[in-house]
Amino acid sequence: MIDALPSPEPSPSAIDKKEATFDEFLIESQSHKGFINPALAAILLGRHRSRIYQLIRKGTFKLYHCYGFPLLSASEVATWHWSQRKRGRPKKKQTERQPAARSA
């Protein structure tokens, strides 16, 4: 039989570093009312994921990286959602039509 190798205990400095990183994440997350990933933002906004990344490149959304994952500020996404105008072509204004003159 092969005995299982004992798992190494993390050093106190590594634990402190992880806790500090997590505390920073919590503080940052609370200031942005949470974080969501770009795929979820695309679903919530009714857009394609590639459009979300276009908006990130354009500067509309700021991309945060935490533990290697791309995240967006939930408050930025909500603000953008409520500020958007209706999609599609605007309807034509109704104008009164005058009857065409008939020639006799």
Q: What is the pTM of this model?
A: 0.57
Confidence of residue 1 (pLDDT cuts 50, 70, 90): very low
Nearest to 67 by CA among 29, 40, 100, 97: 29
- How much is the pLDDT for 78? 87
Domain edges within the chain? 31-82
Decide if pLDDT at 97 tops 80.
Answer: no
Q: What's the chain's average pLDDT?
A: 78
Give me the percent of the chain exceeding a pLDDT of 90: 17
Q: Tell me how far apart the alpha carbons of residues 73 and 76 are, in angstroms, rounded to a whole number.
A: 5
Q: Convert the pLDDT of each residue in 16-59 to its tens digit.
A: 666 667 666 677 666 667 888 999 999 988 889 999 999 999 99
Contact 69, 37 (CB under 8 A): yes
What does DSSP assign to residue 61? S
**β 63-66/35-36 pair status:** unpaired
Summarize the confidence of residues 77-92 as an average pLDDT. 80
Q: Which CATH architecture has domain 31-82?
A: Orthogonal Bundle (1.10)
